[in-house]
Amino acid sequence: MPTDTLPEVNPAKRYSAALDSVNLINDRIAAALPDQTSEQRRSDIDRNVEHLKIAVGWDIWTTEDLTPLNNAIASGTAWLAAN
């Protein structure tokens, strides 16, 4: 998503949301939710990996450490390929 379409960009809020995706990916890789189907688990991971891929491309970051985002993209992508 181009940055010129982001309304009222607040990097701190966007970074917090991205870290939520990081945590969700890591949690779903570790274990599915109770009563979660394998397809729901895959969907959760895939959706959040795609969100992070978009987020790391935004031209809004200053001092934020994008390493956790990139690591979650890599681990989520690897998990999806293996499962």
> Domain range holding 42?
19-30+37-82
Q: Are 70 and 22 in contact (CB under 8 A)?
A: no
Helices marked H in 1-83 — which ranges? 11-30, 38-57, 67-82
> Is 6 a member of any domain?
no
* Count of domains observed in the chain: 1
> Is 50 a member of any domain?
yes
According to the model, what pLDDT value does residue 34 have?
93
- The residues near 20 (Cβ < 8 Å, ≥ 6 apart) are none
Q: Are 18 and 52 in contact (CB under 8 A)?
A: yes
> pLDDT above 70 covers what percent of the chain?
90
> Is 12 a member of any domain?
no
> Is 11 a member of any domain?
no
> Is 2 a member of any domain?
no
> Is 46 a member of any domain?
yes
According to the model, what pLDDT value does residue 5 have?
57
State pLDDT tens for residues 51-81: 999 999 999 999 999 999 999 999 999 999 9
Q: What is the mean pLDDT of residues 19-37?
A: 96
